[in-house]
Structure 1
Amino acid sequence: MSFTKKLSLGTAAIALLAAAPAAVYAQETTGGVRGTVSADGAPVSGASVVVTHVPSGSVSRVTTSANGGFNARDLRVGGPYTVRVDAAGYGSQMVEDVYLALGAPANLPIVLNSGAADVIVVTASASMFTDIETGPAARFTADDINGLPSISRDPRDVARLSTFANLDPENSDAISLAGSNNRYNSFTVDGVAQNDLFGLNSSGFPSENRGPVSIDALAALSVEIAPFDVQYGGFTGGTINAVTRSGDNDFHGSLYYFRTDDSLIGDSSRGRAINFSEFAEETRGGWLSGPIIEDRLFFFVSYEEFDRAQPLFTGPLGSGALNERSGITQADIDEIINIGNTVYGLNLTNFPDASLGSLDEKLLISLDWNINEDHRAKLTYNTNDGGSVQERSDRADLGTPSTWYNRSEATETLSLQVFSDWSDNFSTELTISQSTQDTGQDSVDGSDFAQMDIELASGSVVSVGPDFFRHANALANETFQFKLRGEYVYDNHVISGGYERRTQDIFNLFVPGSEGSYDFGSVNDFRNQVADSLFYQNAVTNDENDGAAEFSFTLDTLYLQDEIDVSDRLTVAFGVRYDRYSTDDAPTANANFLGRYGYSNAGTIDGLDVIMPRASFNYEAPFTYDASFADFSVTGVTLRGGIGRFSGGNPLVWISNTYSNNGVSIDSVFVGGPIANVDAFNVPAGAQGALTAGDGSVNAIAPGFDIPSTLRASLGADVMFDMFDSNDWMFTVEYLHDEQANAPFWYDANCPAAGTSPVDGRPIYNCNTDRQDIVLTSVDMGQSDIWSFELEKDFDNAISFWFGYTNQNVEDAHSGTSSTATSNYSDYASFDRQNARVSTSNYEIQHDFKLRLGWSHAFYEDYETRVEMFVNHRSGRHFSYTYDYSNGDANQYRNQSPFGIHESAADDEGTLLYVPMTDGTGNVTLTSDPLINYTAGFDITGFNEYLQRTGLINYAGEIAPRNGFDSPWSTRVDMRFQQEIPAFFPAAARGVFYMDIENFGNLLNDNWGRFEQVGYEYFQPVVEIDNIDPVSGAYLYDDFRGDAASETRVSTSSVWQVQFGVRYQF
C-alpha cells in the first residue's frame, strides 16, 4: 500500500520569486516549466511529467528525453500548478504550489528515489527554481499590481518600478525605457501590439492619457529591455508585455470605486500657493470570471470607467494656475475675449468658466477554451474609448480656452490565440488580431474660424481661436496582425521559428492653418480688425479634406532560433530575425522637388529590410563563498548576457509626413499687412486664390534612408547570499550598451550654405523663406551605456525590500520629440540643425534611485493589513541654453533666424547660445568679447551674474552644449494603505479599503516633493540676438531675459494627493 508524504522545502512560495524584478525569457503571453529528472546521479529518460493548473484543471503531459529533460510550454501565467513525475522503478514525485511568471519558464530539477513506492509531495520554494534569463527586465504579478501605490491606475505606474524605466510628468507621463524615445517602445496585451502604432501620442499608448486596459484586468506585466529571443521585435527602446486574467472552475469577481478631488490635494510647494480649481476624479469598475463548462470553457469580463474634471495648469497672473504667465493679466484676457465676442461674433470661453476634463471607458471580454489536453484557445475582445481636453499655446505665451481641444480616442481589438502540443516535442502558437484606432481633435469653442495671436503692451502674446494644428486633424488606423510560431525539442536543443505579418491601413487628415492664422500687433489693432499678417495653408482646392493622406504598409517577419542546454548549468541560444517592409502606395510626385534636388519626393520604405542576428547565454556558476564576518556567504551566482540587433517602434507618422506634405495637394500663402476688416470665419479670397498646386512645402525621405536599428549588448549577474542570520538576499548588476544604426535625422534641403560665423565657427545658411523641404534621412550616430544595480530581500516577518539604482550615459544625434517633420526639424537645440552631431540625449536621466518597501499582517483571522511604499529620487531632465531672436518680421510662419535658418516663431528659441569671452577677472563685460555687441541699455551686470550662477560662464568663448544642464533633482514618495474586512457573502468574500498617497513627502513638509523642469522643447532662452554685423560678423545681443522668462515649469505632481477606494471581491 502506498501512502503520501508531505515534505516542505521552505516557507517562501515561488510566487515571491516571480514578484521581484528579474529578467524574463521571451515576448510571451504564457509561462512554462522545464527541467531534468534524475535518479542516483543519472538522467531518467521516458519519465511521464504531468503539469496541472489546479484552478482550471488544464493538463499538459510531456515525456523526458534521453538526457532526462522535459519542457512543458504555453501554460497559463500564475497558478497554483502541480508537477507530477512518474518513472518505472523510481516511484513518483509531485511538486505543489508552483506559480509561473510571465514569459519566464521555471527550471525545475527533480530527483527521484530509486525503488521508492510512495508519492513524495513537495511544496515548492524559491530555492528549488532558477529562471532561464538573458537580458535585463522586470516582471510583476497580479499581487504586485494590487499593492501598487497609484492614483492614475495605469500600466505605466507598474512599469516605472523597473530600474530601466522613468516617467515624464510634464509630458503626459511618457515612459522612457533605457534612455530611449518614448515612441520607440512596444506595448502588447495578450501578445497583440496595443501601443500607438502610428506614433502620434507622446504617451506611446493609443490614448494620450491612459492605458488601453484596466490594471485590474491584468494577471501579469513585464518590462523587457534586451530580450534576445528572436520572437521579440517592434521596439528599439523596450517592450511592456501584459497578460490579462482568465476564468477558471470557480467564480471570482470584484467591484471597486476610487475617488479623489480638490479637497484631497496639496495647495502649496516651497511656499508657493497653488490654487486648484474645483475638480474630481472617479474610477468605477468591476470584473467577473468563472466557468461556462467545468474544466473546459471559461470567461472573464472587465469593465471600467473614469471621469475627471481637472484644474487649470496654465493661466494669467493672479489666476492661481499652476503655471502663471508673466506679462499677462486676467484683465488683458477679459478685454480680448470681449473683443472676440462683440466685434468678431465669436463665442469665446473665458478662464473662470473653463475646465479641463477627461473621460475613459474600457471593456474587456475573454473566453478560454481547453479544447483538449493538447490544445487550448483564448479569444479576447477589448475596447477603449476616451477623450480629454488639452491646453495648447505653442504659438503664443498663453492660449485662451478657445485654443484648447478635445482629443477623442477610440480603440477596438479582437484577437484569437491557439496553443497546441502536437507531440511531446513539437508545439505551436497561432495569434490573429484585428484592431482599429480612431483619433479626433476638436477645438472646444469650434474649429470653423481662424487662430488669432495678439501682442500685448508687455510684449507677451495671447492666442484666441482654434489651435493652428487643430484646424483639420483626424486619424484612422486599422491594423491586422498574424503570428505563427513553432517550437521543436530535440535532445538538448529547443528549435523555434515563426512568421509574423502586420498590415496597417492609414487615413490621416492633417492640414494645419486651413482656417487661417492672423497676427495682431496690439489689442487696439485686434479691436479695429487690422492684422499685421495672415498665414493660410490648405489643399489647393480650398477644401481641407482633399489634403488627407491614405496609404497602407505591411511588415513581414521571419525568425529562427536554436536554444541549447549545453549542460545543466549552461544554456546558450543563437538565432536571427528578419523584418521586411512593403507598400504599394507612394506620395504624390512633385516635379518641382525633383527638379530642385534631382531625386523624387515619392520615395517610400518599400523593400527596406533589417537582419537581426542575436546570441545569448545563461550560466549558473558553481560558485559559493563563506566569509568570516557577518555570517556572510554566497550561495549561488548566475551570469547571463547577450548581443543582438533590435529594430522597430519608430513612429509610422514620420513616414506619413511624406504622404501628407507632398507640395502638390497642399500649399500655403503669406499675406503681409496691414490687413483690414479681418473676418475670423472667412479667409480672404485673394489668399484662397493664391494657392498653387506643386509649389508647396515638401516632406520627403532621403534616397539613402534605411530602417533604424540598434545593436544591443548586455551582461548581468545575480548573486544570492546570506548574511546576519538572514537568507536569500539577491544582488543584481546589469550593464547595457547600445549603438544606433540608421538613426533618424531631419534637415531642410532648401538651405544653401552662406558662410561660417567668425564668432564661434557655426555655419550660416540662407534658407528659402517661401517653403521648407524637410527630408528624413539616416545617420549612424548615437550610443548609450547604462549600469543598473538591485538589492532585494523578502523577510520572514512579511516585510519586503527592494532597492535599485541606474546610471545612464545616453547620446544621440536627434531625440525625435515630435510627430511632424517640421517640428522635429526645429524643436531641438542645435547650433547647426542641418548636419547631425552627437550630444547628450533629451531622454537621459543620469542618476535614478528607487526603493520599494512592503509590509503585511493579519491582525484578525486572515484579513490582511498591507502597506506599500515606492520612493523615486532622480536627477533632473537635461536642457539647453539658447537664443531668442527678433528680426522684425511680422510673419511668424516665415521667419529666418540671424543664422539663416527657416523657423517658425514657436521654435525660434532652439539655437544654442554662444557665451561671450570674459575679461581678466573672469567676468563678461560690454567689451570683454570683441565680436559681441550689445544694444543700448543692455543689462550686462545681470547677464554676467546669470552666466556665473548657471554655470554658463564655464563655456566662455564657446557655444554652450546641447543638453549640458539639468533641471533640479526630484524626490517622490508614494504610499498605499489597504485593509481587508469580512464581506460575509459568499463565504470567501471580503471587502477592501484603500488609501493611496502620492508625494507623501510634500504632505509632511511643504519644501519636499517638488518636481520642476524646463518644459518641452527643453531649452531656456537667455538673450535675443537681433542680427549679425555684415562686415565683422559680430553678434548683437539684446533683451537679456534671465529668470523673468524662465521655461521651468512646476508640475502638479509637486503637491501631495490622496485617493480613497473601496472594493468588494469574492
Structure 2
Amino acid sequence: MPRFYSRVVAPLALVLAAISPSGAQVTGGTLAGRITTNAGAPLSGAVVAATYMPTGARYGAQTADDGRFVIANARSGGPYSITVRRIGYKQETRNDIYLSLGNTTRVDIMLGEVATALGGVTVTAESDPLIDKNRTGPSTNIGRSMIENLPTLGRSLQDITRLSPQGNANSFAGTNFRYNNITIDGAASNDVFSFSPSQGGVSGVGPSGTPGAGARTQPISLDAIEEVQVTLAPFDVKLGNFTGGSINAVTRSGTNETSGSFYSYGRNQMLTGRSADEARSKIPSYSDYQIGGRIGGAFIPNKAFFFLNVDVAHRNEPIGFAPGDVGTVINASTASALLDTLRSRYNYDGGSVGAFTNLTESRKLFARMDFNLSDIHKLNIRHNFVDAHAQNFARGGFLTKFGSQDFTQSNRTNSSVAELKSTWAGGVSNSLIAGASFTRDGRDVPGQIFPQVEISGPSGSSIFLGTDREASVFKIGTSVLELTDNLTVARGAHTWTIGTHNEMYGIQYNFLNAYNGRWQYSSLANFYANKPSRIRGQYNLTDNSLDNVKGTPQADFRVLWPSAYVQDEIAFLGDRLHVTPGLRVDIPSFPDRVPTNAALTSTPATSQYANEFGGDVYVSPRVSFNWDVKGDQTLQLRGGTGRFTGRIPFAWYAYAYENTGLQLGNVDCRPSATSGCAGNSATVPLVTDPTQLKNLQSGVFEANLIDNHFKLPTINRSSLAVDVTLPLGLVATLEGMYTKSIYDVKFLNIGLKDSSVASAVDGRPIFQGSPTQLRVNPNFSSVFLLTNTADGDRYSLTAQLRKTLSHGMQGAVAYTHGQSRDVSNGIRNSPQSNWEFNQVSDPRSPSLTYSNFDIRHRVIANLGWQRRWTEGVNTGVTLIYSGTSGSPFTFVYGSDANRDGSGSNDLVYVPKDFADARIVPVAGDTRTAAEIWAQLNDFIMSQPGLDASRGSITGRNSGRTPWNHQVDMRISQDLPVVRGTTHRAQLSLDVINLGALLGTTLGRQYFVPNENNYNFQAIKVSKTDPSGAPSGFTFDPVPNNQPWQYDALNSRYQAQIGLRYLF
C-alpha cells in the first residue's frame, strides 16, 4: 500500500495542480423552472426553496432577471416540497415533486400579487420523465419502485439494465461490454482488466464489466440502490470514458424515519422445470439462496443519517451436458477411456465426467452516512465491501470438459466514496467527489497442476481436460483513486458546467498463459498416439518454480487519466429550446515505460514499435438540443452529435509490460520431422511437469507490442428522436442513433513473414514453410500488435410506447432494429486470443464484418400492476417480455487451413456443388464422397448464412441462432404485521421463463459456446497439397443440422420464493 501511494498519489498532486477544479459524474437530479406574475411577466429576485422531505435537506435558488432558476446536484427521488417567495407577492408551495437521476424536473409557477385574488395558480410540471429538457440522447431511468418489482433471480444490475431498449445482456448499442463505464455514486466501478472466464450459454453470457465479475458476483446489493440510469449518447461532457453505454447508479440513504427490511430469497430443484428436450428430465438437486437486511434512519433528525445493508448469497448450480447426456456429441465410453488413460499413463485424476455443480458464494456490506451540514452544504460518505468466490466450469453439446478443468475465482473489493454537494442561492452549485477502491482477484485449481489438453472430436466438438491454462498462475490487484469536481453556474439563459474527473490506477498483474502447458490434438487417435498438432506454454527465464511465478507480478505499472470539460446549456424561445455545446479533454498516460528488448528493435518487422503509448490528448466536442415544440411538453424533438473516447481492458496493456522477452520465454511448436521441436519428432509424450516444458523448445519468446500511435477507442455518435404525448397517458418515442468509429482496436500478428504467402484455390493466403521459416525472427514465437482501424459502425432505430402509473397500471414496449460491424470485436482477454479467435479470410488484413454484438431485432416490454386494498395490504404483479433475434456465430474449418498458426480463425469456403466441394473421406470413414456431400449440402441449405455464400468464403458471424423469447413474472403480496404501523410482511414469487411451462421449445434459450469465440467447426480439411494448402475436405454430420445448443438450465422455467419483513 505505501508503494501505491508513493507511485500514484505523488504524480496525482502534479496532475491536479495543472488542472483547475471543476466537473464530475452525475449523482443527482436538477430542479429548474420559471417564476412569473399572473400576467406572465418574469419575476426576478424570487426565492425558491426546495426541501427533500425524507431528510429535511434544503436547497435554494434565486430567480434571474428572466425569472429562471436552477437547482443542480439535488438528491434524486422525493418527495420535494417547493416554496416560492417574493416581497409583494403571495407565497406559493408545491408538494410531491420528484427528481430523477441525471434529468431535469421543470416546475413553472405563477405568483399573484398580495392584493390580488387569484382564481387559481398555474403550475407546470413534467408529467413524464421522457419529456425532459436535459434529455437529448437515448437513456433509460429505473427508479426504486421499478427495481423492487422487477422479476429477478440473481438480483443483479443486469436485471435492471435489460430495460434499455438498445441493450442486450451487458452490451449496449451493439458494442463490446468492455467499452461500458459503470459508476456508483459518481465513482467508477469497472472491471478494469475485464479478465473473466469465457462462459458459454445464457447462464454465462460473460462478465458484467464490474469488479468481481469473474467470481459471478454483483458490485453492490440491489437493496442498496436507489436509482439507475443507462445512457448511450448523453452528450453531457461530464459523462465520459465509454464508447458503449454509461450505467450510473446512486445508492440509498437514511431518512428521518427509521425503516428497514430483512429478506430471504431461495430456489431449488423443486421450483425448476424439466429439461427442454424430448426426455423432459428433472434437474439434479441444487440450491440458490440470498439472505440480508437493511436499516436506515437518523442519528440526528434533519441533520445526520445512516444506512446499512448486508447481503449474503450461496448457489450450487448444476452443469448439464455430461458425456452421454441427450444433446451431447461425446459419449460416456469415450470419456471413460480418456480417464483410464490419464490414470495409467500419468497417474493423474482427470476429475468428474458426470454431473457437476458450480458453487458460488458472496458476502456484501454497504454503509452510508449523510449529513446536512447547512442549507448550502450536504455531505455523504459510503463504503462498499464485496467478498466472493465461484467455481468456473462449463459444458455444452459440442463442448466436453473434464472436472479437472474447473477452477475457483476469488474476488475481494473495498470501495469508499465521499461527496460534498454545495448549492448557493445565486444559481451556483458544486459537487466534489473523492473515491478509492481496492480489488484483488485470484484463481485456485483442484488437485495438482497438469497440462491443458485440447482434442478435436467428431461433429465439430471439442474435449478439454487437465488444468485450465488460464488458471494455473493468476493473481491480479488493482488500486484506484478518483477525484471529481463539478461546478454549475446558472446565469439567465445560460447554465455553465465546468469540471474535471481524474482516475489514478496502480496495477499489479501476475498471469502466465499456459504455464502448465497447452497441448492440442487433431483427433482422439492422435492423443492416444502422443502426436500433438501444437504445443504451447510460458515460463519464467530466471526462476520458473511455481512459488516464484505465483508470488512475483509479471507487470507492475500505473495509469493516470485526467479529464477536464466545459459546456453551456443555452435556453432559447422562452425556455422551449435548449442547445448545449460542450468540450471534453482526456489525457490518459502511463508513467512506467515498457522495457525495450534489443531483439525486437533490431528486427525490421518490429523495430518501429517501441511501446511508446499514452500521453495523447483526446478532444471531444459535443453539441445537443432539446426542443419543446408546442411549449406544453406534449411534443419534444431532441438529438445531438459528439465524440466519445473510452477505455480498453488494462489487461491488453499488461501484456505489453509482461511479454517483452526479457522475463518470460515461450514454447510454441508443431511437432514434425522438421519443426525443431522436441528432437524433430512428430511423436512427443505429454510433459506433465511445468518446470520441464521449456526443454521442448528454448530461446523463443512471444512479444506483445502496442503501436506508438495507438489511440483509445474513439467514436462519433449522433442521435435524433421525437417524443409525443398521446391520449390515455401514453408517450410515444421514435429514436435513431448512428455510431462511426474514429479509432477502434485491431490485432495483428506481425511475427509472420509476408514473403512466405501463396494463394489457395479459394483465394485465401497460405503460409508456406516450417513454423520457424514463417517467423520474421526465429526467436519470436509470435509478435502480436495492438493497433487501430477507422473501420466500424453501428446504428439502431427504436420505437417505444410508454404509459406512466394510472389506475395502478404502468408499462412500456419497445422495438429496436440495429446493426453492428467491426474489424475486431475485442471479446477475448489477451492480444493473442483476440488475434487467434478473430475469424478472417486473410489474417494480415482483417476485414469489416458483422460484430459479435450485432443483434438485428429486439423487443422489450414490461407491464406492472399495483393495488392497495387497505392499509398495509398491497398486491403487485410485473411481467417482462424480452425477444431477441438470433445471436451471431461463425463457421470455421476444424484445423489451421491457412497455416498461420491458429486453428480457430479460418473461415470456411462454401462449395457451389459436388465438384467444388472436393470431398476426400478420411481413413476409416465408410461413407462415400457422394454421401458426405449430400450431408454437407443439406447442412449448407439449412443455414442461410452459408447458403448465401456459395462459391465464396463466408463472412465472420454469418450464422445466426434462432430467436430467444423469455417472459418473466413477479407477484408480491404485502400483509400488515402490526396494525397502525408500517410493519408488514411481503411474500413474493419470481418466475423466469414462463414459456417453458407451455412447451418444450417455447422457452429454449439458444447459444453457441464462447470457448472459441462463438465459432462452429463446420468443415474439416482431410487432405493438403505439397505446399500445405487444403486440397480435400470432409464433413461430420451435425445433429438436426443445428450448430447451436440451448442452455440446459435457463431453458427451463425457474421460480424463486421470497420472504421479506419491512418496517
Same fold, TM-score > 0.5, yes or no: yes
Superposed, which structure 2 residues align to 1:453-472 within 5 Å? 462-472=463-473
Matched, 1:97 2:96: yes
Deviations 1:378-427, CA, capped at 9 Å, x for gaps: 10100111111111689995221111100111111011111112452322
Corresponding residue number in structure 2 for 1:289? 296
Alignment of 1:583-598 (within 5 A): 583-596=590-603, 597-598=605-606
The match for 2:191 among 187, 193, 196 is: 196
> Residues 305 and 1032 from structure 1, CA distance in 2 versus in 1: closer, same or farther, beyond 3 angstroms?
closer
Q: 1:547–1:666: 8 Å Cα contact kept in structure 2?
A: no
Find 2:701's aligned residue among 668, 671, 696.
696
Letter in 2 for 1:715: L
Matches within 5 A, 1:379-528: 379-391=381-393, 397-446=399-448, 448-452=449-453, 462-518=463-519
Match of 2:202 in 1: none
> CA offsets per residue over residues 479-536 of structure 1, 9 Å max, x none?
1111112111222111111122111111111112223345689989989999898544
The change in CA–CA distance for 1:940 and 1:334 in structure 2 (over 3 A counts) is: closer
Q: 1:1048 aligns with which of 1028, 1044, 1049?
A: 1044
Alignment of 1:787-936 (within 5 A): 787-794=797-804, 796-885=806-895, 897-903=896-902, 908-917=903-912, 924-925=913-914, 927-928=915-916
Secondary structure of the residue aligned to 2:140 is strand
Aligned ranges for residues 324-343 of structure 1 at < 5 Å? 325-329=328-332, 331-338=333-340, 340-341=342-343
Gap change, CA 1:82 and 1:485, over 3 Å in 2: same
Residue 949 of structure 1: aligned partner: 942
| Change over 3 Å in CA distance of 1:659–1:162 after alignment to 2 | same
Residue 131 of structure 1: SS of its match in structure 2? coil
Aligned residue for 2:329, secondary structure, equals: strand
Cα distance per residue 1:295-317 (max 9 Å; x no partner): 11100001101000110134211
Tell me the distance in 2 between the aligned counterparts of 1:760 and 1:679. Answer: 38
The range that moved more, 285-294 or 114-123, is: 114-123
CA gap 1:934/1:460 in 2 versus in 1, 3 angstroms = closer
Kept in 2, the 8 Å contact 1:327–1:459? The answer is no
Please tell me the residue identity of whatever aligns with 1:191.
G
**1:704-719, aligned counterparts within 5 Å?**
704-719=709-724
The alpha-carbon deviation at position 117 of structure 1 amounts to: 7.2
Give the match for residue 264 of structure 2.
257
Instruction: Name which of 613, 619, 642 aligns with 1:605.
Output: 613
Q: Aligned partners of 2:320 and 2:959: how far apart in 1?
A: 25
The alignment-based identity, stated in percent, is 27
Q: How far, CA to CA, are the matches of 2:117 and 2:315 in structure 1?
A: 61
Aligned-partner Cα distance in 2 for 1:598–1:674: 31
TM-score, L = length of structure 2 = 0.88
CA RMSD of aligned residues (A): 2.9
1:831 and 1:529, CA in 2 relative to 1: closer, same or farther beyond 3 A? closer
Q: Corresponding residue for 2:28?
A: 30
Q: 1:532 to 1:879 in 2, by over 3 A?
A: closer
Query: How many residues are aligned here?
Result: 989
Return the alpha-carbon distance in structure 2 between the equivalents of residues 978 and 315 of structure 1: 37
How much does 1:272 deviate? Answer: 4.6
Aligned to 1:1059: 1056
Give the CA deviation at 1:665. 1.2
Counterpart contact for 1:581–1:608, Cα < 8 Å: yes
Relative to structure 1, the CA distance from residue 681 to residue 870 in structure 2 (aligned partners, 3 Å threshold; closer, same or farther) is same
Matched, 1:145 2:147: yes
- 1: CA distance between counterparts of 2:531 and 2:508? 38
TM-score by length of 1: 0.88
- Pick aligned residue for 2:360 from 335, 358, 361: 358
Give, in angstroms, the shift of residue 702 of structure 1: 1.7
Task: Return the offset for 1:463.
Answer: 3.8
Cα–Cα, structure 1 residues 968 and 659, in superposed 2: closer, same or farther, change >3 Å?
Answer: same
| Distance verdict in 2 for CA 1:778–1:836, change over 3 Å | same
Give, as a single letter, the amino acid of the residue that structure 1 aligns with 2:650.
Answer: L
AA aligned to 1:697 is E
Offset at 1:706? 1.6
Give per-residue Cα distances to partners, 1:114-147, cap 9 Å, x unaligned: 3357998999965498522111100011000001
Q: Which amino acid counterpart does residue 657 of structure 2 have in structure 1?
A: Y
Separation in 2, partners of 1:528, 1:1013: 34
Quickly say closer, same or farther: Cα 1:534–1:236, change in 2 above 3 A.
closer
Q: Report if the CA contact (8 A) 2:323-2:354 is conserved.
A: no
Which residue of structure 1 aligns with residue 672 of structure 2? none
Larger deviation, residues 796-805 vs 512-521: 512-521
Which amino acid in the other structure matches residue 711 of structure 2?
Answer: D
> Structure 2: which amino acid aligns with 1:36?
R
The alpha-carbon deviation at position 945 of structure 1 amounts to 1.7
Partner Cα separation in structure 2 for residue 1011 and residue 259 of structure 1: 23
Partner residue, 1:636: 634
Tell me by how many angstroms 1:199 deviates. 2.1
Q: Give the deviation of 1:1028 after TM superposition.
A: 4.8
- How far 1:747 sits from its partner (Å)? 0.6
Partner Cα separation in structure 2 for residue 832 and residue 1030 of structure 1:
21
> For structure 1, which segment, 63-72 or 856-865, has the greater mean C-alpha deviation from structure 2 after superposition?
856-865
Identify unmatched segments of 5+ residues in structure 2: 1-22, 197-206, 670-676, 769-773
Q: Which has the higher relative contact order, 1 or 2, with Cα contacts under 8 A spaced 6 or more apart?
A: 2
Distance in 1 between the 2:999 and 2:947 partners? 35
Task: Name the amino acid aligned to 1:498.
Answer: G
Once the two structures are TM-superposed, the CA of residue 878 in structure 1 deviates from its matched residue by 1.3
Change (3 A) 1:713 1:1054: same
Moved more, 261-270 or 233-242: 261-270
Contact 2:470 2:514 in 1 (8 A): yes
Q: Secondary structure at the match of 1:156?
A: helix
Deviations 1:814-856, CA, capped at 9 Å, x for gaps: 1111010111001122111221321111101101111111112
**Separation of aligned partners in 2, 1:528 and 1:742:** 48
Partners of 2:968 and 2:36 in 1: CA distance: 48
| SS of residue matched to 2:948 | helix
**Equivalent position of 1:182 in the other structure:** 177
Could you say which residue in structure 2 is the equivalent of 1:620?
628
Counterpart mapping for 1:543-622 below 5 A:
543=545, 544-545=549-550, 548-566=554-572, 567-596=574-603, 597-599=605-607, 602-622=610-630
Does the CA-based 8 Å contact 1:96-1:124 persist in structure 2? no
**Cα distance change on mapping 1:703 and 1:1035 into 2, 3 Å:** farther
**Which residue type is aligned with residue 487 of structure 2?**
G
What's the counterpart of residue 3 of structure 2? none
SS for the counterpart of 1:109 is strand
- Write the letter of the residue equivalent to 2:569: E
Call closer, same or farther: CA 1:515–1:1064 in 2, change over 3 Å: same
The Cα of 1:1034 is off from its aligned counterpart by 6.9
SS at match of 1:268: coil
| Partner secondary structure for residue 655 of structure 2 | helix
Paired residues for 1:993-1008 under 5 Å: 993-1008=987-1002
User: Structure 1 residue 771: deviation in Å?
Assistant: 0.8
Measured in 1, the distance between the counterparts of 2:309 and 2:289 equals 17
Secondary structure (helix, strand or coil) at the match of 1:772 reads strand
Residues 230 and 568 of structure 1, relative CA distance in 2, 3 Å threshold: same
CA distance in 2, matches of 1:26, 1:478: 20
Query: How has the CA–CA distance of structure 1 residues 678 and 166 changed in structure 2, closer, same or farther, with 3 Å as cutoff?
Result: closer
Distance in 2, Cα, partners of 1:674 & 1:810: 44
> Which residue of structure 1 lines up, in the alignment, with residue 764 of structure 2?
762
CA contact (8 A) 1:27 1:103 kept: no
SS state of the match for residue 955, structure 1? Answer: coil
Cα distance in 1 between the residues matched to 2:461 and 2:106: 65
User: In 2, are the aligned partners of 1:516 and 1:683 still within 8 Å (CA)?
Assistant: no
Deviates further, 103-112 or 647-656: 647-656
Alpha-carbon contact 1:344-1:679 (below 8 Å) kept:
no
Normalized per residue, the structure richer in strand is: 1
Q: Which residue of 2 aligns with 1:69?
A: 68
**Taking structure 1 as reference, are residues 441 and 602 closer, same or farther at Cα in structure 2, changes over 3 Å only?**
farther
Letter in 2 for 1:607: G
**What is aligned with 1:893?**
none
Instruction: Say if 2:928 is the partner of 1:937.
Output: yes
